């Protein structure tokens, strides 16, 4: 089974702190994603990466940055945490979407990190 | 960001009953995915669908990829208490995944 591991289940940080959320996948997936999930707003894409050192902004990148130095690891960085970044953060991974490679469009999620910024 | 219309939003059912939910979109997708999410946990993939009209089962779960490629349906047969949770769909096109608003399922024993 695919395993996507997020380093922390719960984090409590203070306003202004720099926060690192780590994600590792063990299936050699090219694509990795960071989402945040908030009640009533659903899943919103922050950033995604389709290869090492490559990144693309999602729908809500402001206040966040990412790092992908190795294929299996995708880090989300909150440069200066604010209370409105309190949320559930979900990492996910997949192969590239290619219709000829059935099964490679599946998106697998980690267990999530519930971040509280005080 | 964009979300897919998913209905119903929530439902209470008796144990043993069948459940149906669906997702609709104005966009065409290559793949439809169905997930279940328990409180405080990440979503778990239940079923993946790859072509229009496809019907796929996973135990008591059956899902269909709509003919127009703009909708998908999930059925749960003979529900049990552990089916409680939030179910949501996702449509995929290349790198982009669009998620449904979710259906909260509560099963009464």
Judging contacts by C-beta atoms under 8 Å, the chain B residues touching residue A32 are none
% pLDDT > 70, chain B: 99
Three-state SS string across chain B, please?
CCCEEEECCEEEEECCCCEEEEEECCCCCCEEEEEEECCCCCCEEEEEECCCCCEEEECCEEEEECCCCCEEEEEECCCCHHHCEEEEEEEEECCEEEEECCEEEEEEC
Q: How confident is the model at residue A38 (pLDDT cuts 50, 70, 90)?
A: very high
Q: What is the mean pLDDT of residues B13-26?
A: 95
% pLDDT > 90, chain B: 83
The pLDDT, as a whole number, for residue A95 is 77
The pLDDT, as a whole number, for residue A27 is 86
Q: What is the mean pLDDT of residues B92-102?
A: 87
The pLDDT, as a whole number, for residue A100 is 45
What is the chain B residue with the closest CA to A95?
B95
| Tens-digit pLDDT profile for residues A72-112 | 999 999 999 999 999 999 999 987 655 445 555 889 999 99
Is residue B3 within 8 Å of residue B12, measured between CB atoms? no
The pLDDT, as a whole number, for residue B19 is 95
Q: Calculate how close chain A gets to B42, using CA atoms only, in Å.
A: 4
Nearest to B42 among A50, A56, A110 (CB): A110
Q: What is the mean pLDDT of residues A51-79?
A: 95
Q: How confident is the model at residue A1 (pLDDT cuts 50, 70, 90)?
A: low
The pLDDT, as a whole number, for residue B109 is 76
CB interface of B with A, residues 10-49, below 8 Å: 30-31, 33, 35, 40-45, 48
The average confidence (pLDDT) of chain B is: 93
Q: Does residue A39 sit at the B interface (CB-CB below 8 Å)?
A: no
Q: How confident is the model at residue B43 (pLDDT cuts 50, 70, 90)?
A: very high
Contact B33 A97 (CB under 8 A): no
Instruction: Select the more confidently predicted residue: B107 or A64.
Output: A64
Exposed, middle or buried: residue B82 (CB in 10 Å: 0-12, 13-18, 19+)? exposed
Residue of A5, A97, A112 for testing the chain B interface, max B β-carbons within 10 Å: A97
The pLDDT, as a whole number, for residue A99 is 45
Contact A106 B93 (CB under 8 A): no
Contact A108 B45 (CB under 8 A): yes
Is residue A69 within 8 Å of residue A59, measured between CB atoms? no
A58 pLDDT higher than 60: yes
Across A50-54, B73-77, B97-101, the highest mean pLDDT is recorded for B73-77
B79 pLDDT higher than 60: yes
Instruction: Select the more confidently predicted residue: B6 or A106.
Output: B6
The pLDDT, as a whole number, for residue A16 is 97
Q: Calculate how close chain B gets to A66, using CA atoms only, in Å.
A: 17
């Amino acid at each position: 089974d695919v395993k996507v591991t997020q380093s922390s289940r719960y984090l409590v940080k203070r306003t202004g702190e720099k926060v690192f959320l780590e994600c590792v996948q063990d299936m050699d997936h090219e694509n990795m994603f960071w989402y945040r999930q908030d009640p009533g707003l659903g899943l919103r894409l922050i950033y995604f990466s389709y290869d090492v050192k490559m990144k693309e902004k999602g729908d809500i990148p402001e206040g966040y940055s990412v790092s992908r130095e190795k294929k299996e690891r995708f880090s989300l960085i909150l440069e200066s945490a604010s209370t409105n970044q309190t949320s559930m953060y979900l990492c996910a991974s997949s192969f590239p979407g290619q219709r000829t490679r059935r099964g490679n469009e599946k998106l697998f999620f980690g267990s999530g990190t519930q971040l509280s910024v005080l | 960001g964009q979300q897919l219309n998913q209905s119903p939003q929530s439902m209470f059912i008796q144990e043993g009953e069948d459940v149906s939910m669906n997702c609709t979109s104005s966009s065409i997708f290559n793949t439809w995915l169905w997930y279940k999410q328990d409180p405080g946990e990440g979503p778990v993939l239940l079923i993946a669908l790859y072509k229009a009209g496809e019907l796929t089962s996973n135990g008591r779960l059956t899902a269909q990829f709509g003919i127009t490629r703009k909708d998908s349906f999930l059925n749960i047969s003979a529900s049990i208490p552990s089916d409680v949770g939030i179910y949501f769909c996702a449509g995929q096109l290349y790198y982009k995944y669009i998620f449904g608003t979710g259906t909260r399922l509560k099963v009464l024993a």
